[in-house]
Amino acid sequence: MIEIRNLTKRYGDFVALHDVSLSVAKGEFVVILGASGAGKSTLLRCINHLAEPSGGEIRVDGELSRGDRAGLRKVRRDVAMIFQHYNVVPRLSVLKNVLTGRLGSMPALMSWFQLFPREDIDAARECLHRVELEHKADVRTDTLSGGQKQRVGIARALAQHPKVILADEPVASLDPKTSRKVLRYLQQASRDSGITVICNLHQVDYAREFGQRVIGVAGGRIVFEGRPDELTDEVLQRIYPGGLEGPTPPEAPAASVAVPTPVAAHAAPQLALEQP
């Protein structure tokens, strides 16, 4: 599903990713582990062109992923992103947040006015059902707990009908019980819907528990690729050269939402997004 060949990313003279090559199969749940600054987010951001690769190529479902207008529209439709800080719109209802996952597949005019056809509303409710939040559909999203907001993030990603979900430390701000719950929903998305999931994590325990495969990144290079049960002390030393207790990862900034670009025109609008 994802083929990365010789991906390099430079920021000025600094090389954040060195010649990274990686294949991820359809429906696979891959965990990326690495110390703070290793290049995990940069790798995910290059896949959906939130960061423009400096060299190499990325294919999603066989198609070359490009940073031009048409390429971006396609990648933003096929690839959903989940962030550490949820990126929900606080004053919108839970349902409307999930519906924003549909914007990339909507006609330009409807997308502009944020009007949604009935079938999209029904599908959004179904996505909320999958993360057990159907009962919260009509409340304002800023009344939810962190774990619930992240489940809204997952429901929004599911509503997009993506081929791939990229999750950048989706549980970094959550307690262990809630983290496992959130990761289970992501696992279900890959198992039940065949969605390919690439998930950046800091916690080795969760990588062991949820990853079908683990990729270790250090200094912008892949230093390990294997099954979770192959994460030996020696391997962890390679992934975390400064030790697992190393510096606490900095708080990520409240990242900008990757707003999908609208595409074609069809059905009748039923619901507008504005909230009192």
Ligand X SMILES: Nc1ncnc2c1ncn2[C@@H]1O[C@H](COP(=O)(O)OP(=O)(O)OP(=O)(O)O)[C@@H](O)[C@H]1O
Residue with Cβ nearer ligand X (37 or 262): 37
Say whether residue 48 binds ligand X (CB under 6 A). Answer: no
**Shortest Å, Cβ 219 to ligand X:** 9
Distance, CA of 104 to CA of 115 (rounded, Å): 13
**Shortest Å, Cβ 46 to Mg ion:** 13
Q: For the chain, how many residues are written?
A: 276
Q: Which of 3, 5, 18, 37 binds ligand X (CB under 6 A)?
A: 37
Say whether residue 203 binds ligand X (CB under 6 A). Answer: no
**Shortest Å, Cβ 102 to ligand X:** 29
Say whether residue 16 binds ligand X (CB under 6 A). Answer: yes
**Shortest Å, Cβ 264 to Mg ion:** 34
Distance, CA of 196 to CA of 213 (rounded, Å): 12
Q: Which residue is nearest to Mg ion (CB)?
A: 41
Residue with Cβ nearer ligand X (44 or 144): 44
- Inter-axis angle of helices 118-130 and 176-193, nearest 10: 130
Which of Mg ion, ligand X, none has residue 276 at its interface (CB below 5 to 8 Å by kind)?
A: none
Cβ 168 vs Cβ 257: under 8 Å: no
Which is nearest to 44 in space by CA: 32, 57, 62? 32
Q: How many helices and strands, by DSSP H and E, does the chain display?
A: 9, 12
Say whether residue 36 binds ligand X (CB under 6 A). Answer: yes
Which is nearest to 222 in space by CA: 1, 13, 12, 23? 23
Cβ 231 vs Cβ 237: under 8 Å: no
**Shortest Å, Cβ 41 to Mg ion:** 3
Distance, CA of 137 to CA of 98 (rounded, Å): 9
Q: Which of 39, 117, 170, 211 binds ligand X (CB under 6 A)?
A: 39
Distance, CA of 215 to CA of 185 (rounded, Å): 21
Q: Which of 22, 30, 33, 40 binds ligand X (CB under 6 A)?
A: 40
Say whether residue 42 binds ligand X (CB under 6 A). Answer: yes
Distance, CA of 214 to CA of 200 (rounded, Å): 10
Looking at 23-142, list the stretches that DSSP marks H as alpha helix, in order from N- to C-terminal side.
40-47, 69-78, 94-99, 108-113, 118-130
Which of ligand X, Mg ion, none has residue 151 at its interface (CB below 5 to 8 Å by kind)?
A: none
**Shortest Å, Cβ 36 to ligand X:** 3
Which of ligand X, Mg ion, none has residue 249 at its interface (CB below 5 to 8 Å by kind)?
A: ligand X
- Look-up of token digits 């991906």: 7
Which of ligand X, Mg ion, none has residue 113 at its interface (CB below 5 to 8 Å by kind)?
A: none
Window 235-274: contact mask with ligand X (x via CB under 6 A): --------------xx------------------------
Q: Contact region for ligand X (CB under 6 A) — 33-41, 65-73, 176-184, 236-244?
A: 33-41
Distance, CA of 239 to CA of 207 (rounded, Å): 13
Strand pairing category for 213-218 and 221-226:
antiparallel
List contacts with ligand X (CB under 6 A): 11, 14, 16, 34, 36-42, 249-250
